[in-house]
Amino acid sequence: MSAIDDVFAKLRAENRKALMPFVTAGDPDLEFTAAVLTELAVRGASLCEVGIPYSDPIADGPVIQASYTRALDNGIKLHSILETLRSVAPQLTAPVVTMVSYAIIYRHGLEAYADALQQRGIAGMIVPDLPVEESPQLAKVCRARNLSLVQLVTPTTPRQRALKITETSSGFLYYVSVAGITGERTELPPDLIDRVSWLREQTPLPVCIGFGISQPEHVKLLSPVADGLIVGSAIVRRMADVQSLGRMETLKQIGDYVATLLGALE
């Protein structure tokens, strides 16, 4: 079992759901990234997603795109991100996964990227732009290293294709709540619960919902049907306040915000 499998087995035994915050690596710097990850784990996050900045993001909205641009403008490099995660990830109670474009993995080398994660105590990778037809090779590489390969299912994914995605995914399935880009939303699609309920009946993998989740009301609505909830833009937006609020106050506000979402899970 991978570290992510262990997390969900424990949560299921305790009849609890996962909260998975997302942070952009290197915005404004890697020292702050490490501090935020530590704060999230201390506050009770089950897993932490770390976005690897990319110049051509596939489905990210303006908040995450802007954070990627700031990190890249500051000269962030994959090696530096991984070295920072080496120092922090093994110390956290919440396993870390990287959200990374397949282009970066391919350029780095599938086995080399997986080896780099394994050597640094990182639990797996979420690859939002990996076509299911091209996923078996990376899935094999991840299995050999006990890493999780998380893939996405969207509202527009045909059901037969969704079933194929479950076959090469591991750790959990990332269900995209809306047909669109990341970002905070006040309302979620009315058929979301039915779609997620169907998917959970098709696979033993945990199904976690992301995109648009930002309010305790969203958590209360979706937690009965999902195994976990993913929160990204709302946290990344708060991280950007570090320039005006300072590091300690920004960390506190991020931690307090996550605490309100965790409270809604109970």
Active-site residue set: 49, 60
What gap in Å lies between CA 206 and CA 196, rounded to an integer?
11
Nearest to 202 by CA among 147, 157, 263, 139: 157
User: Reading across the β-sheet that carries 152-153, which strands appear in turn?
Assistant: 148-150, 124-126, 96-99, 48-51, 18-24, 228-231, 207-210, 173-176, 152-153
Whether 82 and 100 have beta carbons less than 8 Å apart is answered as: no
DSSP string, 174-191: EEESSSS-----S---TT
What gap in Å lies between CA 232 and CA 255, rounded to an integer?
14
Question: Which residue's entry shows tokens 């994914």?
Answer: 157
Residue 148 pairs with which residues in a beta bridge? 124
